[in-house]
């Protein structure tokens, strides 16, 4: 679903409006954990990664999985889609 140039796929089972957002930043694509607010606005979820001292850093970053440029993103997503379509069981 596109809202204001944001491609958000809502998890219908999530009672809090959670889902996944396809994000592009400086030519790099990522899937970001996001939520749809009561006003219909999409909000990225942010995390505070640990520093070397295992304490949270001061600056938050989006909770995301980065793939790289558009070509690398398509390749990665096709790979995972082919695994799911083939019915391959997870190795763990």
DSSP β-ladder status, 6-10 and 2-3: antiparallel
Q: Does the pLDDT at position 79 exceed 90?
A: yes
pLDDT digit string (tens) for 7-58? 999 999 999 999 999 999 999 999 999 999 999 999 999 999 998 999 999 9
d(CA 83, CA 80): 5
Q: Does the pLDDT at position 6 exceed 80?
A: no
Which pTM was predicted? 0.77
Return the pLDDT at 3: 53
Q: Does the pLDDT at position 4 exceed 80?
A: no
Q: Decide which of 6 and 74 is more confident.
A: 74
Q: What angle do CA 74, 2, 49 make, to 5 degrees?
A: 65
């Amino acid at each position: 679903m596109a809202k204001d140039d944001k491609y958000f796929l809502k998890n219908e089972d999530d009672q809090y409006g959670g889902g996944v957002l396809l994000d592009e930043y400086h030519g790099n694509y990522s899937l970001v954990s996001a939520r749809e607010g009561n006003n219909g606005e999409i909000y990225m979820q942010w995390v505070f990664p640990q520093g070397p001292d295992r304490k949270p850093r001061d600056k938050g970053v989006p909770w995301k999985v980065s793939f790289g440029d558009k070509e690398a993103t398509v390749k990665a997503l096709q790979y995972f889609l082919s695994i799911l379509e083939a019915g391959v069981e997870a190795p763990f």
